[in-house]
Structure 1
Amino acid sequence: MNRNILHLDLDTFFVSCERRLNSSLIGKPVIVGGTGDRGVVSAASYECRAFGVHSGMAMRMARQLCPQATYIRGNASVYTKFSKMVTEILQEQVPVLEKSSVDEFYADLTGMDRFFGCYRFAKELRTKIIKETGLPISFGLSVNKTVSKVATNEAKPDSQLKVDAGFEKIFLEPLSIKKIPMVGEKTFRRFCHLGVKKIGLVQQMPVEMMVSAFGKNGRTIWERANGIDRTPIIQYHERKSISSERTYGRDTTDLVKLKTTLRAMAENLAFQLRAGNKLTSCITVKVRYSDFQTYSKQLKIPYTAADHNLIPQVLELFEKLYQRRLLIRLVGVRYSGLTEGHYQIDLFENTNRTVNLYKAMDAIRLRYGDRSIMRAATLGEGSRTIGGQGNPFNGQPPIVLAHRHQ
């Protein structure tokens, strides 16, 4: 029995989420990413791609190529929320699901042809996702993951493509070798030096020649070029960590700015934990100096999702970590060892008032954005790019919370 592997990809996902929240962006060039001098493009709308802008490009270059675009820093919690919506739809509908990234999925539909028809089912599933989330999505359907992924990329934007069993080589033959997953810029340049640019030519090459030229990866590339891929679907499991990083526009030793950034990260990640009904048992703080040397420290803690437990631990780790007294380029915070659970009252420390305060704060954030309410200690230059983008109150300042748990 031939396998039926479905690959789904949310088109320009971050841009689509922003357009879902602000319809005035539809049809206009939009770029999402780090807006500082050192920022990179996370996502670019198709209108921007016509000017040569692509993900991974330096933001400074993107501004030169497409100055008329709308530039948005983005909001990780919003994108996670939309991704979760799509994930839940797929989990309800498909027998085996693999979530390979925040906007990319594989599903094994093998055996469904006898009951319904895999292509018809995939089309109806795509329609359901678009209707319920408002996000454009494309899919490819074939006998394996490689061909399905390539088919999705050929179907974009906002369309679908099926490659029938036995036609994998014919489908791949005219395409650029860059279309094969795992063929990056470096490998593509090596192919160009060999005079090879199309998949069809790789199909004609002896596998021994590929192994000689590219080592052990040569056989894998040759097999994928010939439409052969035995990679199984890895069933989706909940993530076990969340993290946030900040790269400064200018390296700094300003401890006020650094600690403000860390507080804002710790608070925002704690909100994400509570919003996802999660608790963490491990904190990691990372520091990258101006010479690109990177150091980190972690600490095991009792399960919690409370700001007033996490923020002091993050700052304490930073104090232990920051020993070189050099300019700092980047700081980061990660919560790992996640498990399902609600934040519980500690009989020796907390009161109902504290728990109710968190509930009220989170309700405001869920409705108006995760920067709509914050601690006074997280205000300032160091926190201006943490969490949500823009002002959810249309020019009104956020609610500032000052209480004894700092």
Structure 2
Amino acid sequence: MTEDPAGVLYLRFRRTAGGPAGGAAYAELLALLGAFTPVVEAVPPDGALADVGGALRYFGRDVEDLASVIRVRALALHGVDCAIGAGPNPMVARLAARRAAPGTTFVVARGAEAAFLAPLPAAALDGVGASMARTLCGYGLDSVGRIAAAPLATLQRITGVRTGRELWERARGIDRTRVTPNAAARSIAAERTFPYDELAPERHRRALLSLTEELGARLRGEGQVCRSLALSVRYADRTGYATLTRSRALGEPTAHSAALTALAYRIHESFGFQRARVRGIALRAEGLTDAARASRQLTFDPADERSHRIEEVADRLREKFGPGAVKPAGLAA
């Protein structure tokens, strides 16, 4: 069997009862993928990349068949369904996964990357944030297809030499990154989805508090700190649903939930929403590094020291009695 033209999978795991598969179940799903290929990269909290080029040859299957086998095993053994994107490189596989419904595989074969990417908005490309997307749209480059058709020199004048080259290549489906086995996570994320469009600001803040508590506990449990937070809010507008994303750096690398909450609130306030109908909120901790290697600004504030000590005790209680053993007052039922 020749090498399959779509040998990279991006998988998103969802429990059949609803919600992402995290914790021990997530580790078990990564181990399941490891039975097919050793080239598996974790993408927390509910995703994974897998280079299955060798597995396709070994099992004598095409990419859709192999994805079906993985999905059946995940469902049978762990009660988790998968939405799977397949492509010739990690970037295309990730974007393909967004088109895949749970229980399906969306395949983009080698050579079809440009046609698949062309209608997508500029912000869909890796490395294109809200600010760069606005700049590109100001020059009429509001879709990936228009970016791909633009002269390289034009893109480099707009965004810089190196960034312009990378943008030009990605718009054509060229991704020079590789699936890195056991790669340390550069970011972790969590999200909350409301069952309906939520207008109440206090409910939005409650969701933010829940997210920062979750991310803080995960960071401390893994011995990591983060340097910045990125907040995404999905809300209803006249055309359907739109998503706004903003990120800000922390004063110092930290996993302290109170510091994460304070910054998340400031980012949320910067959106200036006026009775926005919010459907979902996602928060991502970025720039992860080992806590042991991070420096912490010393303080003489007894309240800050007390807060850290309380947090340490709460973490031990959660480890012993479960994640719901200790909650902030703002999350009390």
Question: Is the pair's TM-score, using the shorter chain for normalization, greater than 0.5?
Answer: yes
C-alpha deviation, 1:103, in angstroms: 1.3
* Partner residue of 2:12 out of 9, 16, 30: 9
Gaps of 5+ in 1: 21-25, 31-42, 44-77, 243-248, 250-261, 274-283, 293-297, 301-317, 336-357, 373-382, 392-406
Change (3 A) 1:371 1:290: closer
Using the aligned pairs only, state the percent identity. 22
Give 1:184's aligned residue: 129
**Greater C-alpha radius of gyration:** 1
Alignment TM-score, normalising by the size of structure 2: 0.57
Gaps of 5+ in 2: 189-201, 203-212, 224-253, 264-289
Alignment TM-score, normalising by the size of structure 1: 0.48
* Partner residue of 1:161 out of 94, 106, 111: 106
C-alpha deviation, 1:133, in angstroms: 2.2
Is residue 199 from structure 1 mapped to residue 111 from structure 2 by the alignment? no
* Partner residue of 2:154 out of 201, 205, 209: 209
Separation of aligned partners in 1, 2:255 and 2:127: 31
Contact 2:86/2:93 (8 A) holds in 1: yes
The DSSP-based 3-state class of the residue aligned with 2:115 is helix
Separation of aligned partners in 2, 1:222 and 1:10: 31
**RMSD, aligned CA:** 4.6
Structure 1, residues 310-339: CA drift from partner, whole Å, max 9, x if none?
xxxxxxxx9x944146889x859999xxxx
C-alpha deviation, 1:158, in angstroms: 4.4
Give 2:48's aligned residue: 105
Structure 1, residues 210-265: CA drift from partner, whole Å, max 9, x if none?
1111122222121111011121111115779x9xxxxxx9xxxxxxxxxxxx9xx9
1:124-139 aligned at under 5 Å gives the runs 124-139=69-84
C-alpha deviation, 1:183, in angstroms: 1.7
1:5-404 aligned at under 5 Å gives the runs 5-11=8-14, 16=15, 20=17, 79-114=22-57, 115-215=60-160, 216-236=162-182, 288=259, 321-324=298-301, 365=321, 369-371=322-324, 383-385=326-328
C-alpha deviation, 1:157, in angstroms: 4.5
How many residues are matched? 236
Structure 1, residues 66-116: CA drift from partner, whole Å, max 9, x if none?
xxxxxxxxxxxx832221121121122223111132212111111444422
Separation of aligned partners in 2, 1:125 and 1:290: 38
Contact 1:138/1:158 (8 A) holds in 2: yes
Give the partner amino acid of 2:158: A
Give the partner amino acid of 1:89: L
Give the partner amino acid of 2:300: Q
Contact 2:114/2:172 (8 A) holds in 1: yes
Separation of aligned partners in 2, 1:131 and 1:212: 53
Give the partner amino acid of 2:128: V
Change (3 A) 1:122 1:285: closer
Separation of aligned partners in 2, 1:289 and 1:125: 36
Separation of aligned partners in 2, 1:188 and 1:238: 28
Give the partner amino acid of 1:228: I
Change (3 A) 1:285 1:111: closer
The DSSP-based 3-state class of the residue aligned with 2:53 is coil
Give the partner amino acid of 1:110: G
Contact 1:3/1:108 (8 A) holds in 2: no
The DSSP-based 3-state class of the residue aligned with 2:22 is helix
Contact 2:87/2:110 (8 A) holds in 1: yes
Separation of aligned partners in 1, 2:81 and 2:260: 40
The DSSP-based 3-state class of the residue aligned with 1:174 is coil
The DSSP-based 3-state class of the residue aligned with 1:129 is helix
Separation of aligned partners in 2, 1:289 and 1:148: 31
Separation of aligned partners in 2, 1:227 and 1:201: 13
Contact 2:92/2:173 (8 A) holds in 1: yes
